[in-house]
Structures are given as structure tokens and as C-alpha cells.
């Protein structure tokens, strides 16, 4: 899983910015082609960040590492490759680090400590080794462009504590002046507002589309802090369709099926829904499932719960949780695939009724539970008179697997249940474990098997 997506660097390296893409063959191509350094690529010799020993100088190698990382984070992001010698700022020779790949972990820990001690605020990085032989490796540091810029290096000119703000300038590094630092602080605030605007736009367009459907829908929308480059063309449509075929979210009830969905281009996105099967249906009208996958990494995904005509009492709590599991996994996975597994994102979940007038639910919506085959309104809950919506922050860097998706779902589902008057979603735990006994008797075994297949803890 790439920590960060950069089309420019991926093109230069021939693959994603992870161990599957940044291989020994890729590094050898950089050397063979005398690939130049630049604003996003920095070559370092193995001793460049060696531990500072003896009397502390005014500028240490640990500060140098923090400077190089912050310089990339304050601009467009990039890679630091430790183990390539440059000549006239061009890759000239592989000079790998002595030691086995296992020794990389000690180097990684030391570099991360150097960054934590010498940079403020702490920028995000991803690191991994590229084996060269049994006793040599190159080390790669992936530095995404930071929505929390500007990042400063803690310096001590004349032994007085100061903050200095570096930025990559071509193949060199310079220090930002006061006006540039102020502009980046303003950009930090602007970026937060832009994230809110992107998710509001995705939710607005998505819920507007659901009005062309029928019945009650649950939806999840996600937008990353740092938007991916936007380009919607035939290649993007094909890529999105292939991605959906292998990455749509799963749930214990297997309620989210996208195999028959076909792509339709939209403004800045591609949309999917189930095929029309009745005469007079529009191909773009939402049916059963609806997805809008945006080129900037945002997503809006929705699942029909029940048509209004068939819904005589309300929404089942287990059905709601199950739907949110599938939708959350799909939306978050799309964002990670476009923007990378780093930084933050905003997630919004909610219910939308196609026939609702300005969000007013008619009739009011109760939350249902089932015990011993009897479906009834959940005790001590309130009826909803308006479409509920909740927002939570998501740390994309902490999303590594199914259990992490379930932990995010617990947050979203609990916030939704609080609209009904319940404190949390008891079918899940805060750390993403499942509680099969909180599901109905009919589905308990199914939930247990689903958890076991994915190595998800099942607790009481």
C-alpha cells in the first residue's frame, strides 16, 4: 500500500512509491539513466545522516535529516534515497548501506527519533529498505506534501533556540522568508476549508442523486486533507472500474454487491449504480447501490436499505451497522488508493430518504431491533424527523486492514446511533473487534464465520 501517490515520481520510478514499486531495478534505472535530482528527488550517501558524536556542533546530522524532510514536506513532497551517489546532481552510482535488511530497523528508528526531536510540527514519512545483497540495502524515505505545513527545523544559531523553515528549490534547499512562512500558515487554514468544501460537494451531489432513486439510503462520504491530482479521462474511468471490481467493501451480510455496476463519467468523478431493468428507468438513476468516485480522492457511496413502500416501521440497527461496514471500507479504500495511506481525511455518514422534503422524514423514522424473531422499536430511543448526518476525522496512516475499517465504522455508527438516543454501536468495539452475540440469532453464526475468515477478533 503506497503511503503517498505522486504521478510524476511514479512515472520516473515505474511503479508506486512502496516496496513493490521502488525496487532495486528501479534504483538501477535511475543510475543507468543518470536521473537528475530535483524538487521531488534527493540522493544521499550512507553516511549523510550518521549519528552525531562527540561535542555537539551548531548543526548536527540529525538536524540535517529533519531539514531535508521538512523541505520536501513544505513543497510538493518527494523521496530521499539513501544509497545513491550523485555527480553534478545526477544519479551516478549505487552506494548501498552496509548491513542486512534487518539492520534497517535500527536506522529507521534513529531517523524517526531525529525527526521527532528536530522538526515542528512533526511531518509524516514512510520508510522502507530496498535489498541490494544479503548484507547491503538502500533506504527510501517517502515524504508526502503536508497539509500541516509549514514545518520548521529547531536550530540553535549562537546557542539560541530558533525555528527555521526549509523548502526544496529544484535540487537545493533554501530557507523560507517571513512572508512565505505566513503564506503557508494561511494555506494550512485554507486547506482545512477546502477539505470541508470537497466533502460538502460530494455529499450534496450524492444526496441529490439519491433523490432520483427510491426509498431510504445510508451513505458514507470521505475526502482527504490533501487532494490527489484531478484528471478525468477514459484511462481514469477504466482504472476506477477495475479498482471497484476488486475493492468494493464487504460486510457480514454481504449486502454490498457492485459486480454488475457500469461506469458513467461525471464532473470530476465516475459514478456507478446497478443496471436499469424496468422500461423507462434512466441508466444514471441510483438503484440498490450508488457510488461517485472522485479523481481528487473523495468518495460518496450509498446503499438502499428498503423502498419506502415496503418500509412500514423503520430501519434495523443491525442492517444499518452492516451497511456502514461495507460503505466505510469502500469509501476509505478509494481515498487511500488515490491519495495514499497518509495524512487525515473527513468522513461523513448519514441517511437520506429520496422522497424527503428538505431532509424531513415522513413518517418519522424509528430504530428497530430483533430478538427471538420479533422485530420491534429499540427501547429508549427517539424517532428521527430529519435525515441524520455525522462527521468524524480519519487517520489514513492508521488504516492497514479490515479491523481498522471496522474501528472507523464503530465511530461512525455510534455517532449515528446517538441521533436515535443510544450511546454506541454494540455490534463492534472501538478497536474494530466484532461482538457476534449482539447480532440477531439468525445472523450470529454468519458474523462469526466472517470474522474468523478475516482474523477479526470476536469478543463478548
The tens digit of pLDDT for each residue in 275-290 reads: 877 777 788 889 889 9
In a domain, 118, yes or no: yes
In whole angstroms, what is the distance from residue 289 CA to residue 303 CA? 5
In a domain, 352, yes or no: yes
Q: What is the CATH number of the domain that holds 40?
A: 3.30.950
Q: Say how many residues make up the chain.
A: 460
Q: Domain range holding 390?
A: 192-453
Which residue, 308, 276, 302, is CA-closest to 221?
302
Q: Using one digit for the tens of pLDDT, what is the confidence trace for 316-330? A: 899 999 999 999 999
In whole angstroms, what is the distance from residue 71 CA to residue 94 CA? 24
In whole angstroms, what is the distance from residue 144 CA to residue 400 CA? 18
In whole angstroms, what is the distance from residue 447 CA to residue 430 CA? 17
Inform me whether the pLDDT recorded for 406 exceeds 90: yes
pLDDT of residue 231: 85
Looking at the structure, tell me whether residues 151 and 215 fall in a common domain. no
* 396, three cell numbers: 489514513
Which residue, 296, 427, 316, is CA-closest to 375?
316
Q: Could you give the residue ranges of the DSSP H alpha helices within 211-273?
A: 234-247
CB contact at 8 A, 436 and 458: yes
In whole angstroms, what is the distance from residue 4 CA to residue 397 CA? 10
Q: Which residue has the cell 543518470?
A: 34
Inform me whether the pLDDT recorded for 312 exceeds 50: no
pLDDT band at 51 (very low <50, low <70, confident <90, very high): confident
Looking at the structure, tell me whether residues 196 and 168 fall in a common domain. no
In a domain, 185, yes or no: no
Q: Tell me how far the alpha carbon of residue 184 is from its chain's centroid.
A: 23
Looking at the structure, tell me whether residues 306 and 388 fall in a common domain. yes
- Return the number of other C-beta atoms located less than 10 Å from residue 14's C-beta: 12
Edge-to-edge order in the sheet of strand 374-377 = 315-316, 367-371, 374-377
Looking at the structure, tell me whether residues 155 and 294 fall in a common domain. no
Which residue, 303, 308, 327, is CA-closest to 408?
327
End of a domain among 126, 146, 176? 176
pLDDT of residue 170: 92
pLDDT of residue 248: 74
Q: Which has the minimum average pLDDT: 79-88, 112-121, 364-373, 436-445? A: 364-373
Looking at the structure, tell me whether residues 170 and 245 fall in a common domain. no
Q: Does residue 335 or residue 361 have the better pLDDT? A: 335
Q: Using one digit for the tens of pLDDT, what is the confidence trace for 89-104? A: 999 999 999 998 888 9
Beta bridge partners of 347: 222, 392
* 126, three cell numbers: 514512510
Which residue, 225, 190, 220, is CA-closest to 203?
220
* 434, three cell numbers: 466484532
Torsion angle in degrees (nearest 10) through CA of 324, 330, 336, 341 = 50
pLDDT of residue 306: 63
pLDDT of residue 89: 93
* 182, three cell numbers: 505566513
Looking at the structure, tell me whether residues 264 and 163 fall in a common domain. no
In whole angstroms, what is the distance from residue 407 CA to residue 398 CA? 10
Residues of the chain above pLDDT 70, percent: 96
pLDDT band at 158 (very low <50, low <70, confident <90, very high): low
Task: Output the CA–CA distances (angstroms, integers) from residue 203 to 40, 51, 206, 258, 390, in the order listed.
Answer: 34, 50, 5, 20, 12
Inform me whether the pLDDT recorded for 167 exceeds 80: yes
pLDDT of residue 155: 80
What phi, psi does 265 have (nearest 5°)? -65, 140
Looking at the structure, tell me whether residues 169 and 216 fall in a common domain. no
In whole angstroms, what is the distance from residue 223 CA to residue 182 CA? 26
Average pLDDT, the chain: 90
- Domains identified in the chain, total number: 2
Looking at the structure, tell me whether residues 132 and 253 fall in a common domain. no
Looking at the structure, tell me whether residues 128 and 251 fall in a common domain. no
In whole angstroms, what is the distance from residue 394 CA to residue 309 CA? 36
Residues of the chain above pLDDT 90, percent: 65
pLDDT band at 309 (very low <50, low <70, confident <90, very high): very low
pLDDT band at 182 (very low <50, low <70, confident <90, very high): very high
Looking at the structure, tell me whether residues 339 and 438 fall in a common domain. yes
End of a domain among 141, 176, 211? 176
pLDDT of residue 311: 44
CB contact at 8 A, 334 and 340: no
Inform me whether the pLDDT recorded for 426 exceeds 50: yes
pLDDT of residue 209: 94
In whole angstroms, what is the distance from residue 269 CA to residue 298 CA? 9
In a domain, 181, yes or no: no
End of a domain among 142, 176, 210? 176
In a domain, 2, yes or no: no
Torsion angle in degrees (nearest 10) through CA of 146, 150, 156, 157 = 130
In a domain, 71, yes or no: yes
Looking at the structure, tell me whether residues 275 and 423 fall in a common domain. yes
Q: Using one digit for the tens of pLDDT, what is the confidence trace for 198-238? A: 999 999 999 999 998 888 899 999 999 888 888 889 999 99
Looking at the structure, tell me whether residues 212 and 321 fall in a common domain. yes
CB contact at 8 A, 302 and 218: yes
pLDDT of residue 413: 97
pLDDT band at 307 (very low <50, low <70, confident <90, very high): very low
pLDDT of residue 137: 96
In a domain, 458, yes or no: no
In whole angstroms, what is the distance from residue 346 CA to residue 413 CA? 15
CB contact at 8 A, 114 and 130: no
Amino acid at each position: 500500500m503506497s503511503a503517498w501517490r505522486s504521478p510524476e515520481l511514479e512515472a520516473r520510478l515505474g511503479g508506486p512509491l512502496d516496496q513493490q514499486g521502488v525496487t532495486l531495478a528501479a534504483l538501477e534505472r535511475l543510475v543507468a539513466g543518470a536521473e537528475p535530482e530535483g524538487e521531488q528527488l534527493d540522493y544521499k550517501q550512507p553516511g549523510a545522516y550518521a549519528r552525531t558524536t562527540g561535542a555537539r556542533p551548531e548543526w548536527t546530522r540529525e538536524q540535517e535529516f529533519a531539514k531535508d524532510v521538512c523541505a520536501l514536506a513544505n513543497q510538493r513532497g518527494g523521496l530521499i534515497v539513501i544509497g545513491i551517489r550523485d555527480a553534478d546532481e545526477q544519479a551516478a552510482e549505487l552506494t548501498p548501506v552496509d548491513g542486512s535488511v534487518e539492520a534497517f530497523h535500527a536506522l529507521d528508528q534513529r531517523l524517526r527519533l531525529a525527526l521527532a526531536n528536530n522538526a515542528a510540527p512533526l511531518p509524516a514519512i514512510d520508510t522502507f529498505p530496498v535489498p541490494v545483497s544479503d548484507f547491503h540495502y538502500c533506504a527510501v524515505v517517502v515524504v508526502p506534501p503536508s497539509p500541516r505545513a509549514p514545518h520548521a527545523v529547531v536550530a540553535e544559531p549562537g546557542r539560541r533556540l530558533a525555528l527555521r523553515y526549509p523548502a526544496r528549490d529544484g535540487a537545493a534547499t533554501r530557507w523560507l522568508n517571513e512572508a512565505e512562512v505566513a503564506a503557508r500558515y494561511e494555506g494550512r487554514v485554507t486547506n482545512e476549508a477546502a477539505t470541508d468544501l470537497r466533502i460538502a460537494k460530494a455529499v450534496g451531489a450524492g444526496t441529490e442523486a439519491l433523490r432520483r432513486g427510491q426509498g431510504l439510503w445510508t451513505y458514507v462520504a470521505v475526502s482527504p486533507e490533501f487532494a490527489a491530482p484531478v484528471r478525468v479521462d477514459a484511462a481514469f474511468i477504466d482504472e476506477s472500474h477495475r479498482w471497484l471490481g476488486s475493492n468494493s467493501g464487504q460486510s457480514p451480510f454481504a449486502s454490498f454487491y457492485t459486480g454488475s455496476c457500469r461506469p458513467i463519467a461525471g464532473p470530476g468523478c465516475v459514478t456507478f449504480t446497478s443496471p436499469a431493468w424496468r422500461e423507462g428507468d434512466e441508466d444514471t438513476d441510483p438503484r440498490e447501490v450508488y457510488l461517485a468516485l472522485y479523481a481528487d480522492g473523495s468518495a460518496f457511496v450509498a446503499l438502499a436499505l428498503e423502498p419506502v413502500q415496503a418500509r412500514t416501521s423503520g430501519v434495523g440497527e443491525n442492517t444499518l451497522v452492516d451497511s456502514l461496514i461495507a460503505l466505510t471500507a469502500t469509501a476509505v479504500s478509494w481515498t487511500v488508493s488515490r491519495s495514499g495511506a497518509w495524512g487525515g481525511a473527513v468522513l461523513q455518514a448519514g441517511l437520506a430518504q429520496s422522497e424527503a422534503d428538505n431532509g424531513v422524514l415522513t413518517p418519522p423514522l424509528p430504530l428497530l431491533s430483533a430478538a427471538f424473531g420479533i422485530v420491534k422499536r429499540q427501547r429508549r430511543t427517539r424517532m428521527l424527523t430529519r435525515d441524520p448526518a455525522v462527521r468524524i476525522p480519519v487517520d489514513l496512516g492508521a488504516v492497514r486492514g479490515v479491523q481498522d475499517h471496522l474501528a472507523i465504522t464503530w465511530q461512525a455508527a455510534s455517532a449515528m446511533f446517538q441521533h436515535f438516543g443510544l450511546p454506541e454501536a454494540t455490534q463492534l468495539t472501538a478497536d474494530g473487534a466484532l461482538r457476534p452475540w449482539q447480532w440477531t440469532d439468525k445472523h450470529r453464526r454468519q458474523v462469526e464465520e466472517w470474522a474468523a475468515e478475516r482474523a477479526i477478533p470476536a469478543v463478548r
